[in-house]
Amino acid sequence: MSETVNIHEVKTHLSRLLESVAAGREVIIAKAGLPVAKLIPFTQEGRKPGLARGRGRLTKAFFEPLAEEDLVG
């Protein structure tokens, strides 16, 4: 569900509109009756797998067994 408001109303009632957005509504901002922007609730995005892909390298040494003195336990 969304609400369309003109720029003048946004300037006048921004706090009220932000409360509405925080409650889950979308607010479409219009200029001369034409939509130009949308206010939507902010959501914190989680980690995106693969962001570090290609930034590191594993050498052959990584796959070699550890020395006996490096093993714990």
pLDDT at 69 over 80: yes
Note the pLDDT of residue 73. 64
Note the pLDDT of residue 29. 97
Tracing tokens 């797998």 back to the chain, one arrives at: 49
CATH of 1-41, one of 3.40.1620.10, 1.10.150.120, 3.10.310.40, 3.30.70.100: 3.40.1620.10
Note the pLDDT of residue 7. 95
| Rg of the chain taking only CA atoms, in angstroms | 26
Q: What percent of the chain has pLDDT over 90?
A: 62
Q: What is the DSSP pairing of strand 26-31 with strand 34-39?
A: antiparallel
Domain boundaries, the chain: 1-41
- H, E, C per residue of 23-49: CCCEEEEEECCEEEEEECCCCCCCCCC
For residue 42, give every residue at least 6 positions away whose Cβ sits within 8 Å of its Cβ, in sequence order, or none. none
